[in-house]
Structure 1
């Protein structure tokens, strides 16, 4: 099986990547790190985004972790595009980062995180960055 990490360039995405690495070690399963492309039509953007994404993942993960990273075409609905990709992979678990929420914010989690929680069939580990 595979562990999927939904990543975005933020402290929440970094927390998800770190938690995914820990799970990968515990379960001896490879990681698949997913993010959505920006959707820009500017020439060369796809290649630049892909290289930057791969470099960020390489820096964040230890060399003993087996992983693959993919940028998903966002289409009209980037979260749906990522969820569709996850459905084809059928991971053992999905790791997703979120930020600290106020009492009111906890009720709603955030639209995208809420969608992921409701629509992804695999187990989900929701993590937040540590406050140091």
Structure 2
């Protein structure tokens, strides 16, 4: 008899409004599915300062938000020199995730056609459904 693995939802997090939208939707999906949430905030490690890599107070705030969510969570911050699509595909495979949540940029008509290289690579590389969310529109 095989032990049933707990469901997992993975979120790709960058510290901006679309990353926050992805996190909010990931938490919602994890609650609905009774799943563990794995938050991935990756860096290639090829720059002295990576503004998309959470550190210090921003990382502390993330841990506090997750602790208060009522959802079992884990934060992974890999620095392996790989791009975000590779990192997310690796975590999805390692956890047998049933859903990946990513934030999307709002784009022009041409940008929508091309979708964005990172998003396109993610869609092609992961082996689970992907929920792409946009940040709420900015206030005028």
Using structure 1 for the length normalisation, give the TM-score: 0.82
Q: Which runs of structure 2 are paired with 1:26-37 in the superposition (5 Å)?
A: 26-37=32-43
Equivalence for 2:3: none
How many residues align structurally? 127
Q: Which runs of structure 2 are paired with 1:7-18 in the superposition (5 Å)?
A: 7-18=13-24
Equivalence for 1:127: 133
Q: Is 1:53 matched with 2:59?
A: yes
Equivalence for 2:91: 85
| Over 4 Å off, 4+ runs | none
Name which of structure 1's ranges 106-115 and 60-69 shifts more when overlaid on structure 2: 60-69
Which consecutive unaligned segments of at least 5 residues does structure 1 have?
A: 43-47
Q: Which runs of structure 2 are paired with 1:73-112 in the superposition (5 Å)?
A: 73-112=79-118
Q: Is 1:36–1:73's contact at 8 Å kept on the other side of the alignment?
A: yes
- Which is richer in helix? 1
* CA-to-aligned-CA distance 1:89-120 (integer Å, 9 cap, x gap): 11010001012111111111111011001111
Instruction: State the shift of 1:41 in Å.
Output: 8.0
Which residue among 3, 6, 9 is the counterpart of 1:3?
9
Equivalence for 2:120: 114
Q: 1:100 to 1:78 in 2, by over 3 A?
A: closer
Which consecutive unaligned segments of at least 5 residues does structure 2 have?
A: 1-6, 49-53
Equivalence for 1:45: none
